[in-house]
Amino acid sequence: MNLVRSYEKRRLKFRSLLFDRENLSLTEARLAYLTQRNPALSLEADRLQEFAEFYGMSEEEAQNVQSIKDKDALENMFNAVETDSGLTQNYQDARILYTARLQLAYTRFPSALKLLRHLNSLYLPWQRKNIKVLDYGCGVGDYALAFATHNYPVTLCDIEGGNLDFARWRFEQRPYPFEVLSVTESNLYPNLGQHHVVLAGEVLEHVRAPLQVLKNIHQCLPKGGLLWYSGYPDHQREVGGDHLIEAAEQRMEAYGFVQSHFKPATTLQLPGALYKKR
């Protein structure tokens, strides 16, 4: 048994080193392994293959998408956007650049693992199938996939015609159940249904009405339900590109709403901020 365990550790360490854009720990690499479509590949190769297949390009072409190494290629598309419909259109137009950056430049597994460990301490394995998790602004679905591997039912929410299409496709390649909530030009801030946990990683600073988003999230959670976000509105993000001036202007109001309607969910040091609905 010890030999098997030792082999597994060496194998995971080797796999983590293969993903040269992120130095994953053994436990992070294990979580990443569970999310892969093809576990026989390295994590980097698996993610590259998915991206290339979805967008109908060669893996060499996929590796050369400009936004992977140059975030400015993406941010320059968002200067001087003045309407919600214009912003939505820009996210749709930038979908290949966005998906490439989220899928191939980095992953969310380090922060996802820390959140999972905390939630797993709250819910026993047999309880998790009843704890609905909403990944709001899901991007390529890394957070949702991480939670799905631990038997949490997940819902993907993002802009239809943008990253959501790719995230949905990724889940369709895997055995995990999931639901989808679409953000569209005619329904920018949809009703979010009912969930027990909402994850909003790197998203609130990217919308023109973060206070409205927080109100919708508050409405979808029961008393004691959990909200996690990666930084904003507790911390200001630099304005520019897809970090919107409207979000910066609403930050204190959004922060005040969180403080009035939520309370800290734990004293543990976690990435971002985890709150519990009052």
Mean pLDDT by 10 residues, the chain (278 residues): 48 44 75 93 93 94 77 62 69 81 87 95 96 97 97 96 93 96 91 97 92 97 97 86 85 97 93 95
Q: Looking at the structure, do residues 45 and 123 belong to the same domain, yes or no?
A: no
Contact between residue 161 and residue 182 where contact means Cβ atoms under 8 Å apart: no
Residues 24, 134 within the same domain? no
**Residue numbers of the domain that contains 216:** 106-277
Give me the number of domains the chain comprises: 2
In a domain? residue 150? yes
CB-based contacts of 44: which residues, under 8 Å, 6+ apart? Answer: 18, 19, 20, 21, 104
Contact 215, 224 (CB under 8 A): no
CA-nearest of 90, 179, 195, 180 to 133 is 195
64 vs 48: CA distance, rounded Å: 11
User: Has residue 79 been placed in a domain?
Assistant: no
Same domain, 118 and 48: no
Tell me, yes or no, whether 126 and 194 share the same domain.
Answer: yes
| 87, 119 contact by CB (below 8 A) | no
Cis amide prior to 233 (ω within 30 degrees): yes
From 248, 134, 127, 144, select the one nearest 198 (Cα to Cα). 134
Q: What is the CATH number of the domain that holds 127?
A: 3.40.50.150
Q: What integer pLDDT is reported at residue 15 of this predicted model?
A: 45
Residue keyed to tokens 């082999």:
7
User: What is the model's pLDDT at position 4?
Assistant: 47
Contact 62, 55 (CB under 8 A): yes
Same domain, 19 and 134: no
Q: Are residues 16 and 110 in the same domain?
A: no
Residues 242 and 131 in one domain: yes
Distance CA 203, CA 210 (A): 9
47 plus 110 within the same structural domain? no
Q: Tell whether 86 is covered by a domain.
A: no
Q: What is the pLDDT of residue 74?
A: 62
> Does 236 reside within a domain?
yes
SS3 string, 99-155, reads: HHHHHHHCCCHHHHHHHHHHHHHHCCCCCHHHCCEEEECCCCCHHHHHHHCCCCCEE
Q: Is there a single domain that holds both residue 142 and residue 261?
A: yes
- Kindly report the pTM of this predicted structure: 0.87
The residue written with tokens 């994850």 in the block is 199
**Domain annotation covers residue 129:** yes
The predicted structure's pLDDT at residue 183: 93
pLDDT at 19: 46
Question: Could you tell me the two tokens for 163?
Answer: 């990253």
Q: What is the 3-state secondary structure (H, E, C) of 191-215?
A: CCCCCCEEEECCCHHHCCCHHHHHH
DSSP 237: -
Last residue of a domain, one of 53, 68, 90: 53
Does 48 map to a domain? yes
Q: What is the pLDDT of residue 141?
A: 96
Q: What are φ and ψ of residue 133, in 5° steps?
A: -115, 125
